[in-house]
Amino acid sequence: MDPVDNSQTASTPPTAPAQAVSSQTQIPTQTPPKKKGKLGMTISLLIILFLLFISGAAGYTIFKNLQTNNQEVACTLEAMICPDGSSVGREGPNCEFSPCPTPTPDPTADWKTYEGDGFSFKYPSDISVDPNNKNAMIVSKVPSAIEFYVLTEKVQQLVEQSEGLKSNEQIMMGGIPGVKIKGSEGIAGTVQYIKGLVENNNKTYYVGFSTQSPELFNNFSPKFDQILSTFKFTE
């Protein structure tokens, strides 16, 4: 017997039926972007124009300021007389007159004026000339007085002779340098004094204040300084 060929008789496994493949593939759809409305575009354009305008205005202002600062303005040499007798000139980019100084109230405006031998000074209205001494004024009911003389001694000599000298400072009297001295004299130094001394035309002018009251001395000293500031030469 002939051998049997098993390769010819082996059964072939059944093939699974092919599944049907859809020929139509679904593609996801994209929503087209919405177009901006005309109103939104108009607002954006206005904002841009506004920012450009602000930037341009700021730049122009800075440019003008720099240009003005770099320019030298030559003003005419004119002067304006102020009420106090001082004068001011023109200045600034517009060449306008400078403002006049603010007048300072004169605390001695309502004071009286004493006319002496070649000099004068102002004194408070509540002070009166001593009827018994034409070279003195009565300051208060307490022992006190303002005295004024024209002397022949030199200022330095009078300073050296001053009793109980405590201070010596230079001041202006009648527009020229003088001295103001302070000290105490009398028994136990109970009399305190302030003296203004100035030389002019070989004469020494003396204006002094003295009192036995420490309280009056402290209170009246600033006012006496004002009296010395009003001192003038009349010849």
> Are 116 and 205 in the same domain?
yes
> Are 153 and 222 in the same domain?
yes
Residue 67 has a pLDDT of 60
> Are 131 and 96 in the same domain?
no
CA–CA gap between residue 60 and residue 210 (Å, rounded)? 71
Total domains in the fold of the chain: 2
Q: For residue 116, tell me if it sits in a domain.
A: yes
Asked if pLDDT for residue 125 goes beyond 70, the answer is yes
- CATH of residue 219's domain is 3.40.1000.10
Q: What is the pTM of this model?
A: 0.58
CA–CA gap between residue 41 and residue 177 (Å, rounded)? 84
Asked if pLDDT for residue 18 goes beyond 90, the answer is no
- 201-227: average pLDDT: 95
* Residue ending a domain, choose from 40, 70, 104: 104
The 10 Å CB-count burial string (b at 16+, else e) for 181-200 is bbbbeeeeeebbbbbbbbbb
91: alpha, beta or left? (left if phi > 0; alpha if psi -120 to 50) = beta
Q: What is the pLDDT of residues 141-161, one digit of tens each?
A: 888 999 999 999 999 999 999
Q: For residue 48, tell me if it sits in a domain.
A: no
> Are 141 and 195 in the same domain?
yes
Q: For residue 136, tell me if it sits in a domain.
A: yes
The total number of residues shown for the chain amounts to 235
**Strand-pair partners of 13:** none
CA–CA gap between residue 191 and residue 213 (Å, rounded)? 8
User: Which range of residues forms the domain containing residue 172?
Assistant: 112-233
> Are 162 and 75 in the same domain?
no
Q: What is the pLDDT of residues 159-171, one digit of tens each?
A: 999 999 999 999 9
Banded pLDDT at 226 (limits 50, 70, 90):
very high
Q: For residue 10, tell me if it sits in a domain.
A: no
> Are 173 and 83 in the same domain?
no
First to last CA, the chain: 181
Q: For residue 25, tell me if it sits in a domain.
A: no
**In this structure, which amino acid lies at residue 63?**
F
Residue 59 has a pLDDT of 77
**Look-up of token digits 């202002």:** 61
**In this structure, which amino acid lies at residue 161?**
Q
**Look-up of token digits 């901006």:** 36
Exposure of 139 by Cβ count < 10 A (0-12 exposed, 13-18 middle, 19+ buried)? buried
> Are 131 and 155 in the same domain?
yes
> Are 224 and 142 in the same domain?
yes
> Are 80 and 116 in the same domain?
no
Q: For residue 93, tell me if it sits in a domain.
A: yes
CA–CA gap between residue 39 and residue 36 (Å, rounded)? 8
> Are 119 and 209 in the same domain?
yes
